[in-house]
Each structure stands twice: as C-alpha cells, then as structure tokens.
Amino acid sequence: MSLVLIVEDNEKNMKLVRDVLQVKGYETLEATTGEDGIRIATQRLPDLVLMDIQLPGMNGIDALRALRANEATANIPVIAVTASVMQQDRALITDAGFDAYVGKPINLRAFHDAVRRALETGRS
C-alpha cells in the first residue's frame, strides 16, 4: 500500500482527496501548510506528495523547492493540485519541477491516472 501526503489548506478539498485515495486503498497523511508538509515528508518519507500551490505561509512552489533540496525527500514525486489554471500559472508550476499537474475542481479519472503514473514511475 502506498503512502500519500496531501498538503491542502481547504478542508473540503482535503476531505475529497483523502476519501478518493483511501477508497482506492492508499494510506494518507495530511498537512495544511507547506511548512508542515515538508516536516511530515521528511519524517515519514511518503511515496507521493499532492501539493496545493496556494497555501498559507510558504506556498506550494517554495515547499517543492525545499523538498527537492533535501536529499531525503528529493526523489519523492510531487503532483501540483491547484485551481491555478491560467496558462502562465501552469508554466510556472511545470517549470518549478512538479512531476504532474491536476487542476481543481478535480476530474477523478485524471486525478487517479496522475497518482497511478507518479507512483509507478517515481522520480529518477
């Protein structure tokens, strides 16, 4: 069973993502800030991180940079899950080094496909 860390500050979005993952048999961890996400990822070393971009305090892009800079978490795949859908936002997210991008509202098929691909391929 894969362990997935969800970093999301919106309670309803957190519940949706958690429930969708748990129904599919994934174990989940939760953080509501980028700082907590980094701490939990470093302590628990999940198989995948789902990262919102708009977070209180440290945003998701800065949190990703911190994960990539840490040898222990550098190879954990990270998927951006965000409502930032403008073309320049997507380019910024892609250029930041996320392994995939899932827009909100979440399309369940696309979400499941992105999670499955990230877990199968990991990071090199």
Average pLDDT, the chain: 92
Which is more confidently placed, 85 or 72?
72
Sign of CA dihedral 72, 78, 84, 85: positive
Structural contact between residues 47 and 25, judged by C-beta atoms closer than 8 angstroms: no
- pLDDT by residue (tens digit) across 26-76? 999 999 999 999 999 999 999 999 999 999 999 999 999 999 999 999 999
Distance CA 117, CA 23 (A): 18
The CB density around residue 49, as the number of other CB atoms within 10 Å, is 29
